[in-house]
Amino acid sequence: MIKWWKILAALIIVYTLIWGMLGPVPKLNILYETIRNVYYHVPIWFAMLFQMGFSVVCAVNYLYKSDLRSDLISEQAAQVGLFFSLPGLLTGCMWAKFTWGTWWTFQDPKLNGVAIAILIYLAYFILRSSITDELKRARISAVYNIFAFVMMFVFIMILPRLTDSLHPGNGNNPAFGKYDLDNHMRMVFYPAIIGWILLSLWILDIKKRISILKYNAENE
């Protein structure tokens, strides 16, 4: 049976996709209609951060209980998080092209931080694939996962706020909510965050079930 939160996720995503394109938005210099990207770019990153956070919680749980199921879920959550980082990066590049005039700029610490964070998590999966012993793999991967999450948080959330950045809410720039996220946009933006997080949980639920079935089949 389809759980209620999956139906809710689908309804919210459809609502934000349609109303996000048709609803009213503030008329701002430089941004203009591209401000609608805040309904997609930012919530997708929220979903990515949620999954990476859940992955590290499962990693800590494995280190505490030595439960291989937690290790399996931790890996799947990291995969879902990395998957969401790709559309998050793509929508960010598209936004940068229309507002900054370039797809990518190395002068923005947040863009560079995102690239580094993705590489760190790619190394996590390479590390897992290089270790054959499942207990050793789970233990080393859990420790690395904690390191990866801390470094991602530093590169994405902390360093851009301490240095000059083109991103809203970083450096000396005000956040969107302080000057242009009006009530009409909030009616789409906040549900979009919930919807994309629920969608990421839906994908994780599917991947988790497949992973557990595969593990059980291999160990029968």
- For residue 181, the model assigns a pLDDT of 65
Q: Is residue 139 over pLDDT 90?
A: yes
Predicted confidence at residue 171, as pLDDT, reads 47
b/e 44-60 (16+ beta carbons within 10 angstroms → b): bbbbbbbbbebbbbbbb
Least confident stretch, 42-46, 49-53, 151-155, 179-183: 179-183
Exposed, middle or buried by CB within 10 Å (0-12, 13-18, 19+), for 84? buried
- The pLDDT, as a whole number, for residue 179 is 43
The average pLDDT across 177-200 equals: 81
Contact 125, 85 (CB under 8 A): no
Q: How far is 62 from 182, CA to CA, in rounded Å?
A: 43
Instruction: Tell me the average pLDDT across 190-199.
Output: 94
- Block residue for tokens 């000059």: 164
Give me the pLDDT at residue 28, please: 67
- 170-180 pLDDT per residue, tens: 545 445 554 45
Does residue 150 have a pLDDT over 90? yes
3-state DSSP helix/strand/coil % of the chain, to nearest 5: 80, 0, 20
Tokens 């720039």 belong to 173
Domain ranges of the chain: 4-218
- Residue 166: pLDDT band (50, 70, 90) is low
Position of tokens 């929220």? 46
DSSP 60-82: HHHHHH--HHHHHHHHHHHHHHH
Report how far residue 62's alpha carbon sits from residue 69's, in angstroms, rounded to the nearest whole number.
8
Q: And the tokens for 137?
A: 């793999």
Rounded-to-integer distance, Cα 182 and Cα 161, Å: 24
Instruction: With cut-offs at 50, 70 and 90, classify the pLDDT of residue 30.
Output: low
Mean pLDDT, residues 205-215? 88
